[in-house]
Structure 1
Amino acid sequence: MARMTMIEAVRSAMDVSMAQDDNVVVFGEDVGYFGGVFRCTQGLQAKYGKTRCFDTPISESGIVGTAIGMAAYGLKPCVEIQFADYMYPAYDQLTQEAARIRYRSNGDFTCPIVVRMPTGGGIFGGQTHSQSPEALFTHVCGLKVIVPSNPYDAKGLLIAAIEDPDPVMFLEPKRLYNGPFDGHHERPVTPWSKHDLGEVPEGHYTIPIGKAEIRRAGSAVTVVAYGTMVHVALAAAEDAGIDAEVIDLRSLLPLDLDTITNSVRKTGRCVVVHEATLTSGFGAEVVALVQENCFYHLEAPIVRVAGWDTPYPHAQEWDYFPSPGRLGQALAEVMGA
């Protein structure tokens, strides 16, 4: 067991997978010699050679298209899109090819690719380095979508994604990359906070894709979150002194609806929080599902807390993020209804 940042956990997942299976290849922009813009792939090329970890031209469509072809011939590509904001040129390849190969070939071919991408804000990267596009992938049948909230989950879920026979979008929250995050601070805090969710095994392990985790048990209100917002939710619940149950989705598609509905039927109230913009964000899907499955158990309207419906505001980044204060107001509103 070792203490790892999320960067180290992601790197360890690829290392373990490459050591275990020669068909696993890693490529993308600057991921080879340089080790990636966030150093997630540092040392992999030196260890496994330039044929298994290599740099590509600046062409996201080319990266994903090449990965799809490799996967069809039996390889297991784990590719990096340098920032989630850069994935749009590859969206056609992902939605029209990767997501459909299993179905259009009647199961003769699968597409075991993983597309890793740093997501969300936290580095003052502005409009083209800070987006949260997860909802665009959850609308596509055939893709799986994962957003981890801590190093332990990041490693276990990434190994599971690499071993999965279908395409997986793996979104890594940048604010969580370099250490623990207690929900209040702009930057990671040291020493490891009480929200640190455990040490990370150095070897192989997996976490099932499609299974949520209850991070805080409670009986008064259910808070549904993923990624960085899990830590914000934990902080808000403590600040507000509310007996909130905090659910970390971990996997958006497939979604663990049972864990959500069982919690809401118990608490009778629900708040959904995510960093992406409010309109058509993934929270809207969660709200619809809770409404459909828990209507007769609800004691108050479901509330969403999210980013603003505006192009990403570089200068107001920390106001844009849902904060413990904003989420606390929503919790008070729901409890008072």
Structure 2
Amino acid sequence: MTTETAPAADAGETREMNMIEAINSALDIMLDRDDNVTLLGEDIGYFGGVFRCTAGLQEKYGKTRVFDTPISECGIIGVAVGMGAYGLRPVPEIQFADYIYPGLDQLISEAARLRYRSAAEFIAPMTVRSPFGGGIFGGQTHSQSPESIFTHVSGLKTVIPSTPYDAKGLLISCIEDNDPVIFFEPKRIYNGPFDGYYDKPAKSWKGFEAAQVPTDYYKIPLGKARTVREGDALTILAYGTMVHVVESVARDKGVNAEILDLRTLVPLDIEAIEASVEKTGRCLIVHEATRTSGFGSELSALVQERCFYHLEAPIERVTGFDTPYPHSLEWAYFPGPVRIGEAIDKLLEA
């Protein structure tokens, strides 16, 4: 594992946190450290957010630092762009990633281009937080994974944590970054570990006993992947919830797979990907989003361009299906043990 996987020995006081608690801790610390940090979004103030990520923060910092907005995603993001240009560091929350589309014009035409258009006279240091992906049977309007839309836009950074420790350290780095960042939070693992296949408690989830998160300030740099486990049979590239799924599959199959948690899609740690694929000669890409034009397509192209002469088998992808997101059948939609296991077998037999 990389040094960012777990707290360093000198990290100070730690406590067990799930991802919601880690995000709340990061926001609390940044509100306390920097008077320019401001939170805004639907129901984030008095109610503390639909998933409780901002619980208690309005009471602690007041209604001018943590405030509720109308149900207007274009308004939320547009206001945040102006706040950033003015000198603040806004952290707008979009209640579900599915609701972010009305704000695309503000994100793409304004936030992403402001530094370039103004010759760096103005910037948009904003971090757009939003839960994404499935896991709550939310169907087509609460479960989408639109990350590839934002990785396509020059000027935006896209970050997706997979652990509470990473969520806190990455979120702090995002808030302190001078560029606009999309920070997607996998809701399926908001409340803690699961068995990797189904949404049921897994008290014995490997590593959870040591999943302590520092209570104080710390950062994880953007653009650095995490080696979840080392191996030489094949490389598996994943992010968010899928990191835990592929780890469970590899462990249960007894495959000596090297698993990389990308953590940030833009900027991407292409050097870590190259080093791993050159070592193993095989590459599997797994993500929850639909297959066509998903971020796995870009990863596949990059690996093909940079590692072609090291590959011993064609690159494989396991993704969501090219269909509207199903409501009652979401567990069939997720990349799971059967499809991932078949892809692993195909790679190893090639």
- What TM-score range do you get, normalising by the shorter chain? over 0.9
What CA deviation, in whole Å up to 9, does each residue of 1:276-304 have, x standing for no partner?
00110000000000000000000000000
- Supply the distance in 2 between the matched residues of 1:120 and 1:150 (Cα, whole angstroms): 15
**What is the CA–CA distance in structure 2 between the aligned matches of 1:257 and 1:23, rounded to whole Å?**
33
Choose the corresponding residue for 1:284, options 297, 315, 324. 297
Which residue number corresponds to residue 205 of structure 2? 193
- Using the TM superposition, give the Cα deviation of residue 326 of structure 1 relative to its aligned residue in structure 2, in angstroms: 1.4
Query: Which residue does 1:250 correspond to in 2?
Result: 263
In the TM superposition, 1:295-334 aligns within 5 A as 295-334=308-347
Structure 2 partner of 1:70: 83
For the 8 Å contact 1:115–1:168, the answer to whether it is kept is yes
How far apart are 1:11 and its partner, in Å?
0.5
Match of 1:211 in 2: 224
Instruction: Confirm or deny that 1:14 pairs with 2:27.
Output: yes
SS of 1:287's partner is helix
Query: Normalization by structure 2: what TM-score?
Result: 0.95
Say how many residue pairs are matched: 336
For residues 150 and 330 of structure 1, the distance between their equivalents in structure 2, rounded to whole angstroms, comes to 25
Residues 68-101 of structure 1: per-residue CA shift (max 9 Å, x gap): 0000010000110000000000011000000001
- Give 2:94's aligned amino acid: I
Determine helix, strand or coil for the equivalent of 1:309: coil
TM-score by length of 1: 0.98
Counterpart secondary structure, 1:11: helix
- 1:16-47 CA-partner distances (Å, limit 9, x unpaired): 00000010000100000000000000000000
8 Å CA contact 1:210, 1:253 repeated in 2: yes
CA RMSD, Structure 1 to Structure 2 (Å): 0.9
Q: Are 1:89 and 2:102 an aligned pair? A: yes
In the alignment, which residue of structure 2 is the partner of 1:37?
50
Measure the CA separation in 1 of the matches of 2:344 and 2:163.
24
Counterpart of 1:151 in structure 2 is 164
Distance in 1 separating the partners of 2:300 and 2:110: 30
Cα distance, 1:278–1:158 mapped onto 2, change above 3 Å: same
- Counterpart in the other structure of 2:119: 106
Shift of 1:108: 1.1
* Cα contact 1:110–1:165 (8 A) shared by 2: yes
Name the structure 1 match of 2:135. 122
1:266 to 256, 275, 279: 279
Distance 1:264 1:307 in 2: 23
Q: Secondary structure at the match of 2:212?
A: coil
Q: Distance in 2 between matches of 1:9 and 1:181?
A: 17
| Letter aligned with residue 329 of structure 1 | E
One-letter amino acid of the structure 2 residue matched with residue 194 of structure 1: K
SS at match of 1:293: helix
Tell me the amino acid that sits aligned with residue 336 of structure 1: E
**Which structure 2 residues correspond to residues 158-237 of structure 1 after superposition, within 5 A?**
158-187=171-200, 189-191=201-203, 193-196=205-208, 198-237=211-250
Task: Report if aligned partners of 1:31, 1:53 keep a CA contact under 8 Å in 2.
Answer: yes
Question: Is the Cα contact below 8 Å between 2:292 and 2:322 reproduced in 1?
Answer: yes
Counterparts of 2:232 and 2:100 in 1: how far apart (Å)? 40
Partners of 1:195 and 1:58 in 2: CA distance: 39
Secondary structure of 2:342's counterpart equals helix
Contact 1:272 1:304 in 2 (8 A): yes
Aligned residues with identical type, % of pairs: 63
How big is the shift at 1:192? Answer: 5.3
Distance 1:218 1:181 in 2: 23
Question: Per the alignment, do residues 258 and 22 of structure 1 end up closer, same or farther by CA in structure 2, a change over 3 Å counting?
Answer: same
Distance 1:273 1:127 in 2: 21
Partners of 1:279 and 1:307 in 2: CA distance: 9
CA distance in 2, matches of 1:113, 1:100: 13
Structure 2 unmatched runs, 5+: 1-13
What SS is found at the alignment partner of 2:137?
A: coil
C-alpha distance in 2 between matches for 1:296 and 1:277: 29
Residues 222 and 263 in structure 1, CA contact (< 8 A), matched pair in contact too:
yes
- Aligned in 2, Cα 1:270/1:199: closer, same or farther, shift over 3 Å? same
| Contact 2:235/2:276 (<8 A) preserved | yes
Query: Would you say the 8 A contact 2:157–2:181 is kept in 1?
Result: yes
Is the 1:181–1:195 Cα contact (8 Å) retained in structure 2? no
* Structure-1 separation of matches of 2:136 and 2:103: 24
| 1:55 and 2:68 matched | yes
- CA offset at residue 324 of structure 1? 2.1
Q: State the Cα distance separating 1:198 from its structure 2 match.
A: 2.4
